[in-house]
Amino acid sequence: MLSVLTESTPLFLAGVFFFGLLVGSFLNVVILRLPKRLEHDWRCQCEELLEIQSSEGAETPPDLVWSRSRCPSCGHAIRAHENIPLLSYLFLRGRCSRCKTRISPRYPVIEGLTGVLFLLVAWQFGATGQTIAGFVLTAFLIALSGIDLDHQLLPDNLTLPLVWIGLLLSLFGVFIGPAASIVGVLVGYLSLWLIYHLFKLLTGKEGMGYGDFKLMGALGAWMGWEMLPLVILLSSLVGAVVGVALLALRRHQSGQPLPFGPFIAAAGWIALLFGDRIVNWYLVSSGMLSP
SS3 70: strand
Q: Is residue 262 part of a domain?
A: yes
pLDDT at 168: 98
Could you tell me which residues are beta bridge partners of residue 102?
A: 95
DSSP symbols for 102-116 = BPPTHHHHHHHHHHH
Whether residues 137 and 44 share a domain: the answer is no
Q: Is residue 122 part of a domain?
A: no
pLDDT at 30: 96
| Residue 74 and residue 98 in contact, taking contact as beta carbons nearer than 8 Å | yes
Does the pLDDT value for residue 1 go beyond 50?
A: no
Provide, rounded to the nearest whole percent, the portion of the chain with pLDDT above 90.
53
Could you tell me which residues are beta bridge partners of residue 30?
A: none
| Residue 15: Cβ-neighbour burial (10 angstroms; 0-12, 13-18, 19+) | middle
Q: CB neighbours of 88 closer than 8 A, spacing ≥ 6? A: 81, 82
Whether residues 63 and 206 share a domain: the answer is no
- Please give the tally of structural domains in the chain: 2
Q: Which of 92, 115, 138 is the last residue of a domain?
A: 115
pLDDT at 55: 60
Whether residues 13 and 103 share a domain: the answer is yes
Does the pLDDT value for residue 286 go beyond 90?
A: no
Q: What is the mean pLDDT of the chain?
A: 87
> What is the reported pTM?
0.91
Q: Which of 62, 82, 115 is the last residue of a domain?
A: 115
Cα(97)–Cα(117) distance, rounded to whole angstroms?
A: 30
Whether residues 109 and 192 share a domain: the answer is no
How sure is the predictor about 249, in pLDDT bands with cuts at 50, 70 and 90? low
Q: Is residue 121 part of a domain?
A: no
Q: Is residue 260 part of a domain?
A: yes
Q: Is residue 66 part of a domain?
A: yes
Buried (b) or exposed (e) across 180-201, using 16+ Cβ within 10 A?
bbbbbbebbbebbbebbeeeee
Whether residues 63 and 152 share a domain: the answer is no
Q: Is residue 123 part of a domain?
A: no
Q: Is residue 213 part of a domain?
A: yes
The dihedrals phi and psi of 95, each to the nearest 5 degrees, come to -135, 150
Whether residues 54 and 175 share a domain: the answer is no
Whether residues 110 and 171 share a domain: the answer is no
Whether residues 11 and 62 share a domain: the answer is yes
Cα 273 from chain centroid (whole Å): 15
Could you tell me which residues are beta bridge partners of residue 77?
A: 70
Cα(51)–Cα(75) distance, rounded to whole angstroms?
A: 34
pLDDT tens-place string over residues 157-213: 999 999 999 999 999 999 999 999 999 999 999 999 998 888 888 887 777 888 999
Whether residues 184 and 238 share a domain: the answer is yes
Cα(186)–Cα(169) distance, rounded to whole angstroms?
A: 17
pLDDT tens-place string over residues 64-76: 888 888 887 887 8
Q: Is residue 290 part of a domain?
A: yes
Q: Which of 60, 83, 115 is the last residue of a domain?
A: 115
Cα angle 138-69-262, degrees, rounded to a multiple of 5: 30
Whether residues 18 and 96 share a domain: the answer is yes
Range of the domain at 107: 1-115
Whether residues 221 and 276 share a domain: the answer is yes
Whether residues 39 and 97 share a domain: the answer is yes
